[in-house]
Amino acid sequence: MTDPTRPHLVVFLISEGVNMIDLAGPMQAFASCNVEAREPRYEIVTASAAGGPVSSAPGLALPTVCIETIDPDAIDTLIVPGGSRSGRPPDDGRSVAWLAANGGRVKRLCSVCTGAFLLGAAGFLSGRRATTHWRWTAELQRCCPDARIELDPIYVEDRGVWTSAGVSSGIDLALALISRDQGRALAMAVARSLVVYMTRSGGQAQFSVPLEAQAAADGAFAELDAWILANLASPLDVPALATRIGMSERNFRRRYREATGRSPGQAVEVFRLEAASQALSSGSRSIKQIARMVGCETEGNLLRLFRRHYGITPSEFRKRFSQGDEVPAATLPSGHSALPTC
């Protein structure tokens, strides 16, 4: 039986070439929780299959204890970070063997980034939903055909097994675990201490809409998208945008859609939606202030924008998200041709 007076034991099981952020990000979140709580809520141990120094991807040697020296029944949370010297997912047979033999005795199994490959090789993703870094989701699905590997989520929990997306999402995972263990208020205090913009629900996409747009666009449109994001309250109709980039309106419409997969109006709409969503979930501005800030001008326009994409009002979005519910990613209905005025 777990002793309720002892700190929650978190063990990081690492392999050669571990990504430092996969390890250090969540580790710091748990350490910061101890500081914010003013008492040791978590005991943090770094382990490896053999024990001793383990070289990280940047070359820093990390001290570890041998995982065999730790009683699996005493581990409250075991986290497997990703990374390897080759840049591919880790391939650590000894860690997989330990996980296969002992992972079922651990109270909560987790992975960060490509650490999911080790959980999968040990059999813990079979029949479960899971995620990993977007670059490796197809490969993980091939390696774990009985799992349901999802591209979009930041993290996924399925029957006690938690998997998270790439690198910095390990912090999101750790904050979710802290919220589950210690309560949302303490998790939010940790987020503030880490200067993390906000605690994100697992169902949010790995890519933000602006990041996707800038990745898809060529250099000129990436710069335009960055300018749009910084000037959402400005007039952003096609004539204004075409003039800014020095194109005719017709050529601009065609070229922008070819480069990004969206019309200029659709892009501006989802940019405004994402900015409003972040403001609602992370701040105390009024809905009227947010509507003006993102260029929707009135509460009514913002209301229609949220109903069109999410099927709920801005007030409902704020209430639900603050309680940790997952909110669907912004999508444009089929055939929709939005104007950039909400």
209-322 — its CATH code? Answer: 1.10.10.60
CATH fold match for the domains 8-193 and 209-322 = no
Average the pLDDT over 63-71 and give the result.
Answer: 98
Query: Which tops the pLDDT comparison, 282 or 333?
Result: 282
Mean pLDDT of the chain: 86
The per-residue pLDDT for range 82-95, each reduced to its tens digit, is 999 898 999 999 99
**Which pLDDT band, with edges at 50, 70 and 90, does 321 fall under?**
low
**Which pLDDT band, with edges at 50, 70 and 90, does 1 fall under?**
very low
Q: Is a pLDDT exceeding 70 seen at residue 128?
A: yes
Average the pLDDT over 179-203 and give the result.
Answer: 78
- Looking at the chain, the whole-number percentage of residues with pLDDT higher than 70 is 85
Contacts of 176 (CB under 8 A, 6+ apart): 155, 157, 162, 187, 199, 202
Query: Which tops the pLDDT comparison, 68 or 270?
Result: 68
* Domain boundary assignment for the chain: 8-193, 209-322
The per-residue pLDDT for range 217-232, each reduced to its tens digit, is 555 687 888 888 889 9
**pTM of the complete model:** 0.67
* pLDDT score recorded for residue 2: 47
**Which pLDDT band, with edges at 50, 70 and 90, does 12 fall under?**
very high
Torsion of CA 184, 273, 246, 227, to 10 degrees: -20
Homologous superfamily (CATH) of 8-193 is Class I glutamine amidotransferase (GATase) domain (3.40.50.880)
In this structure, what are the phi and psi dihedrals at residue 234, rounded to the nearest 5 degrees? -85, 165
Most confident of the ranges 58-62, 147-151, 187-191: 58-62
Q: Is a pLDDT exceeding 80 seen at residue 310?
A: no
The per-residue pLDDT for range 13-65, each reduced to its tens digit, is 999 999 999 999 999 999 999 999 999 999 999 999 999 999 999 999 999 99
